């Protein structure tokens, strides 16, 4: 299975179109409180690196959600688009935006300790707690 490929997608209304050239085949779910409030469930995303082209960028609003990351959404239809790291400009794109889901595999869940009891996935995934994520990627103090 290829490590990454180009994928195209769009928001619900089509005002924002995405071309991501290095989309990972791995999909992850984030159960943190912010992602659940943002998407009314886990945020399902895939790593797209930095080679992302956005058509209709004037329709993208950015929310500064933490000291290290920001979230983008379509300001016309409200579709969640991405979670982006400020320092590296790496995108975690909402996987539902892409026209083609072929070859995608659900591999990980983060902030598993914040997942509410009312839903669950059957897939076997690598599960990390919030503390484990911050230890791996969080800002150094």
Domains defined for the chain, CATH in brackets = 4-130 (3.90.1590.10)
Per-residue pLDDT tens over the stretch 53-103: 999 999 999 999 999 899 999 999 999 999 999 999 999 999 999 999 999
Q: End-to-end distance of the chain based on CA atoms, in angstroms?
A: 38
Residue 113, Cβ density class (10 Å: 0-12 exposed, 13-18 middle, ≥19 buried)? middle
pLDDT over 70 at 2, yes or no:
no
pLDDT > 70: what percent of the chain? 96
pTM over 0.75: yes
pLDDT over 90 at 139, yes or no:
no
Mean pLDDT of the chain: 94
Q: Distance of CA 112 to CAs 27, 30, 83, 94, Å?
A: 15, 8, 18, 18
35-57 average pLDDT score: 97
Write the DSSP symbol of residue 58: G
């Amino acid at each position: 299975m290829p490590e990454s490929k180009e994928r195209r997608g769009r928001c619900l209304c089509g005002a924002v179109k995405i071309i991501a050239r290095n989309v990972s085949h791995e999909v992850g779910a984030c159960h943190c409180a912010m992602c659940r409030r943002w998407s009314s469930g886990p945020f399902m995303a895939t790593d797209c690196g930095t080679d992302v082209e956005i058509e209709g960028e004037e329709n993208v609003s950015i929310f500064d959600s933490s000291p290290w990351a920001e979230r983008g959404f379509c300001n016309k239809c409200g579709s969640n688009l991405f979670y982006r790291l400020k320092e590296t400009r790496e995108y975690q794109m909402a996987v539902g935006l892409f026209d083609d889901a072929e070859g995608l595999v659900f591999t990980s869940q983060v902030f598993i300790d914040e997942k509410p009891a009312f839903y669950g996935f059957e897939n076997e995934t690598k599960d990390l707690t919030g503390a484990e994520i911050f230890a791996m990627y969080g800002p150094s103090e």
